[in-house]
């Protein structure tokens, strides 16, 4: 008997699932992907991709705007975002480009597919041959391949779930005509069903053999993320109100439904390669991962309130304007905190587009703007899209002159280095 005990002791036990976070991004987590070897990739509003091995990050930087989606394909990693580009890592080479934001990615052995708000789907061959552009006519939110890569499913703003033949680039079938836009898709090719989540909160599973539909819609909207465990036993659903619902797909029942984040939506979901953990991203600057066996029993995302959600009564008017208009993209500290935009520390007197280490648009790099009271006032009076056409800055204005004055006063106080006196430099 002692030999049996010894033999059992020598058998390695599986690692116990545990709660953990991946911290280091400077903006919300927009997309998550997992690789069979345990690596995790995170796409962030801070314009970067985090590649995590043993919870240590390697930063993949090159995008010029928020990164919305990321996917593993063998040893390669693909990412896409608000700068209209599809990039391949290592290297960050641009392998595809749209005329609008790319919000969804899928990879097969032969192609990478991109879903864009320009109303098209891009099919980019792995061998570098000529791509195909599939015309949809309205914004596309999600794409997914069949396992053999010959069929592509897509869904978008018009509420239509389409099927495409990859070889010909032709639409072959329409599975769903929903009244509201469809945001997310998950295909289960083994059991032959596809799940989708829509703007109106609808969460449904379509049996591709029988056409039967299972409905798991709750009173929360929109649906922003879907993920399936590797063994196909659990389907996770994230929504705009911060909840995660987990569906047991063997018994077709809701196994878990919990509030995952204190504030804001759940934008991204993915299961670990072994299926023991559920990873999630939202407004917080970290990815959260819960053991599947203890969902809802651990800490929530965004437990510390972001500055742009801080109680307005606790701030001066100038700080309020900064929190609402600037803080999600810009920091006030010298290190920049990995935000989507450059730090505003020392901005007064600085020529636009000149801070080292930040990827500026050509428009800003070529401009003659010097940031001071007058130019900052004009930026928010006219809006970036009019004051600096072609800039990456989001379209926004501060219409009241007194609010712009208060913002400038706050910025001068908060961004002037301590050894300088203020005043235009």
Q: SS3 for 215?
A: strand
Which residue do the tokens 């890569």 mark?
149
> What torsion do the CA atoms of 274, 277, 283, 284 make, to the nearest 10 degrees?
-110
> How far, in Å, CA of 357 to CA of 336, rounded?
10
Residue-level pLDDT at 8: 34
Report helix, strand or coil for 31: strand
Cβ distance 121 to 164 under 8 Å?
A: yes
Domain with CATH 1.10.760.10 in the chain: 307-415
Nearest 5 degrees, angle CA 25-CA 280-CA 294? 130
Classify burial at 270, counting beta carbons within 10 Å of its beta carbon; exposed 0-12, middle 13-18, buried 19 or more: buried
Give the Cα separation of 203 and 196 in Å (integer). 6
Closest C-alpha to 60, from 75, 35, 77, 73: 77
For residues 25 and 170, give the distance between their C-alpha atoms in angstroms, rounded to a whole number. Answer: 39
24, 25, 28, 30: CA torsion to nearest 10: -110
Provide the CA 166 distance to its chain's centre, in angstroms. 26
d(C-alpha 280, C-alpha 283), whole Å = 11
Q: How far is CA 45 from CA 91, 184, 187, 285, 295, in A?
A: 20, 19, 26, 9, 26
- Going by C-alpha positions, the residue among 264, 272, 271 that lies closest to residue 243 is 264
Contact between 327 and 319 (Cβ < 8 Å): no
Burial class (CB in 10 A: 0-12, 13-18, 19+), 313: exposed
pTM of the full structure: 0.81
* Residue 51: burial class (beta carbons within 10 Å; 0-12, 13-18, 19+): buried
pLDDT score at 255: 97
Q: At what angle do helices 317-325 and 401-415 cross, to 10 degrees?
A: 90
Burial 171-183 (b: 16+ CB within 10 A, else e): beeeebebeebbb
CA atoms of 176 and 234, how far apart (whole Å): 23
CATH of 307-415, one of 1.10.760.10, 3.30.70.1150, 3.40.47.10, 3.40.640.10: 1.10.760.10
**How high is the pLDDT of residue 422?**
40
Token output for 248: 């047991």
Residues 200-214, buried b or exposed e (16+ Cβ, 10 A)? ebbbbbbebeeeeee
What the block records as the tokens of 304 is 């510390």
Question: What's the pLDDT at 1?
Answer: 38
Instruction: Tell me which residues of the chain have a pLDDT lower than 50.
Output: 1-15, 307-308, 419, 421-425
- Cα–Cα distance measured from residue 27 to residue 47, given in angstroms and rounded to the nearest whole number: 8
CATH class of 17-294: mainly beta
Tally Cβ neighbours within 10 Å of residue 35.
Answer: 17
Query: Quick check: helix, strand or coil at residue 196?
Result: strand
Which helix (DSSP H) or strand (DSSP E) does residue 404 occupy?
A: helix 401-415
Please state, in angstroms and rounded to a whole number, the distance separating the CA atoms of residues 172 and 9. 56
Spacing of C-alpha 72 from chain mean position: 15
Could you tell me whether strands 132-135 and 213-215 are parallel, antiparallel, or unpaired per DSSP bridges? unpaired
């Amino acid at each position: 008997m002692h030999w049996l005990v010894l033999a059992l002791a020598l058998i390695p036990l599986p690692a116990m699932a545990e709660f953990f976070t991946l911290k280091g991004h400077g903006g919300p987590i927009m997309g998550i992907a997992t690789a069979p070897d345990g690596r995790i990739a995170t796409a962030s509003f801070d314009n970067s991709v985090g590649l995590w091995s043993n919870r240590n990050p390697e930063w993949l930087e090159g995008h010029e705007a928020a990164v919305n989606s990321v996917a593993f394909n063998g040893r390669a990693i693909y990412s896409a975002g608000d700068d209209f580009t599809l990039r391949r890592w290592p290297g960050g080479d641009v392998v595809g480009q749209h005329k609008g934001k790319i919000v969804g990615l899928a990879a097969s052995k032969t192609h990478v597919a991109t879903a864009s708000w320009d109303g098209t789907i891009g099919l980019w061959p792995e061998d570098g041959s000529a791509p195909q552009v599939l015309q949809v006519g309205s914004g596309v939110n999600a794409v997914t391949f069949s396992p053999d890569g010959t069929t592509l499913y897509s869904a978008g703003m018009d509420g239509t779930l389409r099927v495409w033949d990859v070889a010909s680039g032709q639409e072959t079938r329409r599975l769903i005509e929903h009244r509201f836009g469809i945001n997310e898709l998950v295909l289960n090719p083994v059991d032959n069903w596809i799940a989708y989540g829509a703007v109106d909160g609808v969460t449904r599973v379509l049996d591709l053999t029988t056409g039967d539909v299972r409905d798991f819609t709750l009173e929360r909207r929109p649906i922003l993320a879907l993920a399936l465990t590797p063994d196909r036993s659990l389907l996770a659903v994230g929504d705009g109100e911060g909840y995660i619902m987990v569906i047991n797909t063997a018994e077709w029942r809701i196994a878990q439904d919990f509030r995952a984040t204190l504030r804001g939506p759940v934008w991204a979901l993915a299961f670990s390669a072994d299926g023991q953990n559920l990873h999630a991203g939202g407004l917080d600057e970290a990815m959260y991962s819960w053991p599947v066996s203890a969902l809802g029993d651990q800490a929530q995302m965004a437990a510390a309130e972001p500055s742009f959600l801080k109680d307005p009564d606790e701030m001066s008017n100038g700080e309020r304007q900064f929190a609402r208009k600037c803080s999600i993209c810009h920091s006030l500290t010298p290190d920049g905190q990995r935000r989507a935009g450059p730090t505003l520390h020392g901005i007064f007197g600085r020529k636009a587009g000149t801070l080292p280490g930040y990827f500026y648009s050509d428009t800003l790099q070529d401009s003659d703007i010097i940031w001071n009271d007058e130019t900052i006032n004009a930026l928010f009076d006219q809006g970036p899209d009019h004051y600096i056409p072609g800039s990456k800055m989001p379209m926004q204005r501060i219409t009241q002159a007194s609010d712009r004055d208060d913002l400038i006063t706050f910025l001068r106080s908060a961004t002037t280095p301590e050894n300088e006196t203020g005043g235009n430099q």
